[in-house]
Amino acid sequence: MKIAFVGKGGSGKSTLSSLFIRYLQQVRKRNVLAIDADLNMNLAGLLGVKVDEKTLMASPDVAQAIRSFLRGDNKRISEVSKFLPTTPPGAGSNLVRSADEPGLKPFAVAVSQSPVVNLLTVGSYDKDGIGQTCYHSHLFVAENILSHTVTSPDFTIVCDMVAGTDAFAYSMHLQFDAIVLIAEPTPESTEVCKLYLDLARQSGVDQLIHLVGNKVEDGDDIEFISKIVDKKLLVSVPSMPKLKKARQRGEIVGGELLDPALTQIMRMIENQAQMPSISPAHRLEMLHKLHLKLNDKQWVQLGYGDVADQIDPDFQYLPRFAGAVS
């Protein structure tokens, strides 16, 4: 499965993402490819690793190398520079089929060897990009990876997402089997979640949204979140002073911090996420429609030319043992 953790900045996206990753690693013994798509890049610290700036996907050289791998022998993509965030896979494309994918490994940080947990980080602004770049452009390559991925029972992608509703800028909102929408019991956090859910409905992905309350103290908090967001909570996560103190001491997320109560919460999230309501074929159809819509934009026509023919109408995602054919 591909699962994303979204919500207002400071709602606990990175913390719950890291807890879910540790749950998959330590309890479920699953291989995980983690993606930090947040501007603030907190996931590495929570998982106890350091990221080399040279491996950030925001780096033009890294983006080019990853896209070269994904492109493979796909003749519909004339050159790597023609990748849009919505560029779909086609005949000849290389697909990501494991957490230890060789085409991505040079840019991943190893969190665990057995099971395999690797971390890819999008990155933030650098001094040369200040005043000249948009963070959404850095997300393009992450979107390319996600659209070129086929997961399996022993391979999960967990994404710590960009804050707020920025996922709707291009195709990030439809790249997942499940989206965990995190709400604190505050007006600011719940309003963001309400807007996110409304945009999800308009985009046809609202069935993927699972509302999770965070830093919840009592039933009033649960009622407040449900009423404002207008959706029933899947589960609520209590305030975790033990985790906060551990992070203040510089300890990483995992180990004894993943106590039985938190383990049960993570299991409930996993169980719900394993029941995707959008098929890979339908998701690919939605990606094709977004690609054609983006292709009509003037900036795309001027900068990329007409890329409508990047769509391979015969391509389909198939399980790992069968490969992908068109």
For residue 268, the SS3 value is helix
pLDDT along the chain (326 residues), means of 10: 92 92 95 92 91 91 96 96 96 96 96 96 65 61 96 94 82 93 96 95 94 95 96 92 76 76 94 86 95 96 96 86 40
Q: What CA–CA distance (Å, rounded) separates 236 from 231?
A: 13
**Do the beta carbons of residue 206 and residue 185 sit within 8 Å?**
no
For residue 2, the SS3 value is strand
Neighbours of 102 (CB within 10 A): 10
What's the whole-model pTM score?
0.91
pLDDT at 163: 78
Domain ranges of the chain: 2-177+241-310
pLDDT at 39: 79
Q: In terms of C-beta density within 10 A (0-12 exposed, 13-18 middle, 19 or more buried), how is residue 279 classed?
A: exposed
